[in-house]
Amino acid sequence: MADLSIVFAGIKAPNPFWLASAPPTDKAYNVVRAFEAGWGGVVWKTLGEDPAAVNVSSRYSAHYGANREVLGINNIELITDRSLEINLREITQVKKDWPDRALIVSLMVPCVEESWKNILPLVEATGCDGIELNFGCPHGMPERGMGAAVGQVPEYVEQVTRWCKTYCSLPVIVKLTPNITDIRVAARAAYRGGADAVSLINTINSITSVDLERMVALPVVGTQSTHGGYCGSAVKPIALNMVAEIARDPQTQGLPICGIGGIGNWRDAAEFVALGCGAVQVCTAAMLHGFRIVEEMKDGLSRWMDSQGYASLQEFSGRAVGNTTDWKYLDINYQVIAKIDQEACIGCGRCHIACEDTSHQAIASLKLADGTHKYEVIDDECVGCNLCQITCPVADCIEMVPIDSGKPYLNWTQDPRNPYREAV
């Protein structure tokens, strides 16, 4: 079996699956249950200064897909609403009882040096393995000058990170906000400040839905609502992109990355690792399905690694980064066309409708003698956009087949049709 153990930013864990700082890691009871289920680590729900934050009711809403599948959750809960003393006491005991698991403490205090100087020794005394700086919370805390209000200002990110490296000997992980134009700017600031790693993404500003009878967005607090933090499988594409941007940025090369955002199974985790992550954090999937999902995650990842010949995560971490580039460097002369497997086709016509109405009219609808239809690709009209493959309800029925254009590699920087092409 493949070895799932990791050393991330100097922190050891038996596997890369960590619970993210969120309601599932709010207290010792939850964390112990998670460790008993097999999670490799947790990031304790964000601690702050006393008096503790005060939460509202209700706190969550959801964006649903077919059959009420939860695609994303909107969350307006704040950082821990329990006292600092209680949290520190529980962290100390849990780490003592579970020395082989990674226990990271998430922190958020005012952007004042004295506040960080005061809390860091208290946290380090618990014996925890590292700290994660919550620079991403998009609701409630930014109004107080914390969370995303720090993460959106590179100078603050660098400054607070440096304070933490000054007053604390533990590994410092900086959790980045996705509510920013260019994620690389914040990652570079964390790197300059001495961060041992970054984690991303935190939740995305969102309103999931509106109750049209009461004319108020969800979740409802009395007669009002507010924007919250969006998480779940729907945010995975955004998270993967931001992870890749940092992983391939020369200015942050070598900076360890902990991936967060929509991870619900082993394949999701493997994709984050392939794009440069050394560990991953999970929240929404655990909230929806319970802590035991980690069993399938570990088993699935280990089996896949065995099938690919990977003995450890390090052997494929970042393997996809080199194949990720800017659009301008893609091969304009590379071409694929769609091919329909007539044996697998169920004749639903969705590919034809999508292509005819919204794409390139490259799929013909041929009426047969029995009144049914057969769908065939018109090769000369197909541009290889993949829309038919995406809309087809039958897996592997439509294949995108490369064809030889007879032309050499050519990217947009070289193309004579580009008036700003680079001189060769």
Peptide bond into 419 cis (omega under 30): no
List the structure tokens of 261.
Answer: 């955002």
Q: Are 153 and 66 in contact (CB under 8 A)?
A: no
Half-sphere exposure of 53 (CA within 13 A, CB side): 23
- Where b means 16+ CB within 10 Å and e means fewer, 344-354 reads ebeeebbbbeb
Name 363's bridge partners: 377
Distance set, CA 380 to CA 332, 336, 361, 404 (Å): 17, 11, 11, 14
Q: Pick from 243, 168, 239, 5: which is nearest to 102 by CA?
A: 5
- Say which of 137, 164, 258, 392 is annotated catalytic: 137
- Phi and psi, residue 418, nearest 5°: -90, 110
Q: Pick from 184, 164, 185: which is nearest to 173 by CA?
A: 164
List the structure tokens of 193.
Answer: 């400040």
Does the annotation count 382 as an active-site position? no
Which residues participate in catalysis according to the annotation?
Answer: 137
